[in-house]
Structure 1
Amino acid sequence: MKRVSQFSLLALALGLSTSVLAADMAKTLSYSHLLQQNGVAIDTRMSAFYNGWPQSANGPQGHEPMALNLSASWLSSMSDEQLAAWAQQHKLKKETALALYGSDKDNQAVADRLEKIGYTQISRLSDALQQPNRLQKLPHFEQLVYPQWLHDLQKSKSVEAKPTGDWKVFEAGWGAPKLYLLSHIPGAGYIDTNEVESEPLWNKVSDEQLKAMLAKHGIRHDTTVILYGRDVYAAARVAQIMLYAGVKDVRLLDGGWKTWSDSGLPVERGTAAKVKPEPDFGVTIPAQPQLMLDMEQARGLLNRKDASLVSIRSWPEFIGTTSGYSYIKPKGDIAGARWGHAGSDSTHMEDFHNPDGTMRSADDIAEMWKSWNITPEQHVAFYCGTGWRASETFMYARAMGWQNVAVYDGGWYEWSANPKNPVATGDRKPE
């Protein structure tokens, strides 16, 4: 008869799962031993810490080399089928040695779910985050802030990558601030995207209008602006245009309003506080004109090995099954453009998001782009239908440290309006 320890009997009596018992006796692997086994490290922390934000003052920053990020906080949003698809996407075989690191609670939650879908070689990474010189992080992780960081900043606590001068928080959205009035981040102002783009093509407004908008909201070139939106790409659209204008430090709340709401941090309702206008922006607009391309500049990137004009549109839009918009009739895409992925339709960006809506790992994004010959040393310009999705990917590429990136503002709407412009339709592959 198999002997059962008193601890095991007690645990069973209390209704604890066998996986909890297994966790109590879990194997540990050092990083070097994991590599010898061709195993994979999995970071179970939230993506902000994986990207480079320290969890504590002077704490380690970043993640173990080649580690995957599977945050325990995502699990409630992932079915077993979605988790299996994540594992398959990352080429994890059932016999692959997996070493988890993060808090004990998070490691256990992730281990339980991985065991449930058939992964059995699960250990704890014994020396995780103990060698700072080997850790990897986003070159500009500070451009994607997370809720607790922003809350601490608002409370005047010491934070990593603190703005050097004046800073302001804004919610960005299209039209009247209906949802903002009901609930928003305390102290946040509101920017209507109609203040930065206009019909007929929903391109950027004139530089003079930009200057007036920035003055109205009390923004100078040296003001740190932190933006969030109910839709991340609305905030990204405003952020990218502000960078073009010359605001030096523009940051996004990674995952947008949802991450703040899910965090349980304070909210407020009502109208924004009155802002003192700042008529002196401090530099000539645009201070960074290279960040926004016109149609001829975009055309100049086509069919080059050292450049990519990148379509951030859904696959059905890219191949011409749909235009993606009720107000854009032509279908297809720019001939010679490379597909940069997007999401299921013109209003989604799943290909770039973790289950909680935060930015997917830089390695995943870079690999996705590399498959279409889009690489960081190129001159890369993103476009979509009218600029929102392209702006979101621009902000991610910028955080990833890509040096020469821009947005083709006119996008498919402008390109398709000229019958002389070459258009491609139908299924196609990378060059």
Structure 2
Amino acid sequence: MKLSRHVAVSALLLGCLHATASIAATEKPAPAQDKAQQNVIIDTRPSAFYNGWPEQAGAPSGHEPGALNLAATWLNEMNDTQLSHWLQQHQVTPATQVSLYGRTEQIDAVKARLNKLGFHNVTYLADALNQTRPLQRLPHFEQLVYPGWIHALQNGQTVTAAPAGEWRVLEVAWGAPKQYLISHIPGAGYLDTNDIESEPLWNKVSDDKLKALMAKLGVRHDTTVILYGRDVYAAARAAQIMLYAGVKDVRLLDGGWRAWSDAGLPVERGLPPDVKPAADFGAPVPGQPQLILSQPQAKALLNRRDASLVSIRSWPEFIGETSGYSYIKPKGEIAGARWGHAGSDSTHMEDFHNPDGTMKSADDIAAMWKAWHITPDQQVSFYCGTGWRASETFMYARAMGWKNISVYDGGWYEWSSEAGNATVSGERGPDSSWK
């Protein structure tokens, strides 16, 4: 039964390739469109640099205030219909004055595609990233690392936001390390998600088991742990649980294994390296118990203006057309929960991904949530079927600087298994949980 939940790797990668097109089908009900923008600045660099990573030592960190991110590297993943949809989403029309910045080849590539679609008011922003004025960046961009950063760290180079002490890279997936054995990031260990969650509801394992696992992995509370997965949300699930356990510095490879593969960086094959177990975690477990909520705690967030229990499930799941899982029979949703978006089905997260599988811009995600009355000043807890998709959005919200966030571990699986819990089905809008 577990197999049907997490093995759709090829489907996930295909979904990432067609993310922009899929979003149109999953964003329901759609918010009202704003008037077309008269002037737009577009950053054509990869999202890591837009988010705040400097391209090189001493380079600017962040992006021009208010700039959109349309990376030149995404263009091969976007057909004209998908690119047109992206422009429409951001209220960019042929009448809009578009200013591009980035490297010359990046600007030229984006300009050529825009021209092809009839956008001719396109110029080059000559003074972009001028360090004499404030730039915008993801508040905690360092929590979403990129392949070049890991590669530089592994080779002993000086990197921005370097780990304070010992560090480990781990690939995360469900079950035996079949794909890992064929090809993985050099030096990376392997973490089976069966070691962090268990049946019958696939909630996290006990705190004692978590503590034992950290020791086995050679991880202390002050070890920097860098996680990646063939499925981003598998790594995010482990990251969120490690933060709960008390690991202070947990990073996620934005875009996962695909990002490393696309970067053309070295890989290796074979068994995980031998690791010396940690003698002691060095701190109480859990270190941050507030990051994972129980069912009673989740219920306490419903139908409040200062809190949101947020469903990270596809629209068909949210309205009760499908449960999303072969092993979860009830259909429907937690009554009073707000829709936080997800993807086309239970194995996709297109609503949060750029065409290359990296995290969509913080502005786009925040706007998507705000339309459903989910805001950073609230107490916000994410859930999905059993925790994977919710953990991915938790990691994004954390990087965005949202403070009072958590995951309702039991999710729909736990909630729907108890007859007395209120559920709802059918089409509904943001105001359905706004009292």
TM-score surpassing 0.5? yes
Structure of larger gyration radius: 1
1:334 aligns with 2:334: yes
Give the unaligned 5+ runs of structure 1. 1-36
SS at match of 2:226: strand
TM-score (norm 2): 0.90
The reply on whether 1:296 has 2:296 as its aligned counterpart is yes
After superposition, the C-alpha distances for 1:298-349 in whole angstroms (9 at most, x for unaligned) are 0000011000000000000000000000000000000000000000000000
Deviations 1:331-383 (A, max 9, x none): 00000000000000000000000000000000000000000000000000000
Contact residue 293 and residue 407 of structure 2 kept, 8 A: yes
Distance 2:224 2:274 in 1: 18
What fraction of aligned residue pairs are identical, expressed as a percent? 70
**Equivalent position of 1:134 in the other structure:** 134
C-alpha distance in 2 between matches for 1:205 and 1:101: 48
What residue number does 2:34 align with? none
Q: What letter is aligned with 1:252?
A: L
Does the aligned pair in 2 maintain the 1:60–1:132 contact within 8 Å? no
CA shift, 1:56, in A, is: 1.1
CA distance in 2, matches of 1:132, 1:232: 36
Residue 53 of structure 1 corresponds to which residue in structure 2?
A: 53
Whether the aligned pair in 2 keeps the contact of 1:61 and 1:132 (CA below 8 Å) is no
Amino acid paired to 1:156: G
Q: Which residue of 2 aligns with 1:195?
A: 195
Write the letter of the residue equivalent to 2:98: L
Matches for 1:58-207 after TM superposition, within 5 Å: 58-207=58-207
The SS at the match of 2:392 is helix
CA distance in structure 2 between the partners assigned to 1:92 and 1:306 by the alignment: 34
Question: 8 Å contact 1:41–1:98 — kept in the other structure?
Answer: yes
For residue 279 of structure 1, give the secondary structure of its aligned residue in structure 2: coil
Output one character per residue of 1:90-141: Cα deviation in whole Å (capped at 9) or x when no partner: 0111110000000010000000111111111000011100135321000000
Note if 1:224 corresponds to 2:210.
no
Letter in 2 for 1:382: F
**RMSD over aligned Cα, in angstroms?**
0.7
Equivalent residue number for residue 375 of structure 1: 375
Q: Which residue of the partner structure matches residue 353 of structure 1? A: 353
Going from structure 1 to structure 2, the CA distance change for 1:275 and 1:132 (only over 3 Å counts) comes to farther
| Structure 1: distance between partners of 2:148 and 2:128 | 23
CA contact (8 A) 2:43 2:71 kept: yes
Structure-1 residue corresponding to 2:282: 282
Supply the AA of the counterpart residue of 2:214.
L
Distance 1:294 1:393 in 2: 18
In structure 1, what is the Cα distance between the partners aligned to 2:232 and 2:133? 33
CA offset at residue 279 of structure 1?
A: 3.0
| Larger RCO (CA within 8 A; separation ≥ 6) | 2
Equivalent positions of 1:219-258 (< 5 A) are: 219-258=219-258
User: More displaced, 123-132 or 215-224?
Assistant: 123-132
User: SS of the counterpart of 2:430?
Assistant: coil
1:297-316 superposed matches below 5 A: 297-316=297-316
Deviation at 1:273, TM superposition (A): 1.0
Deviation (angstroms), 1:419? 1.1
Q: Does 1:424 align with 2:424?
A: yes
* 1:20-75 deviations in Å (ceiling 9; x for gaps): xxxxxxxxxxxxxxxxx941000000000000000110110000111000000000
Q: What is the SS of the residue equivalent to 2:168?
A: strand
Q: Summarize deviations over 1:168-223 as a string: whole Å, max 9, x none.
A: 00000000000000000000000000000000000000000001110000000000
Tell me the secondary structure at the aligned position of residue 271 of structure 2. coil
2: CA distance, partners of 1:276 / 1:216: 8
Paired residue secondary structure (1:133): coil
Q: Secondary structure at the match of 1:403?
A: coil
Equivalent residue number for residue 405 of structure 1: 405
Q: Which amino acid aligns with 1:377?
A: D
What corresponds to 1:323 in structure 2? 323
Give, in whole Å, the separation in 2 of the partners of 1:57 and 1:132. Answer: 17
Between the two proteins, the alignment pairs up a number of residues equal to 395
Taking the aligned partners of 1:200 and 1:71, their CA distance within structure 2 comes to: 43
Letter in 1 for 2:153: L
For the residue of structure 1 that corresponds to 2:124, the secondary structure is strand
2:38 and 2:95 in contact (8 A); partners too? no
Aligned residue in 2 for 1:211: 211
Secondary structure class of the residue paired with 2:309: strand
SS of the residue 2:287 aligns to: coil
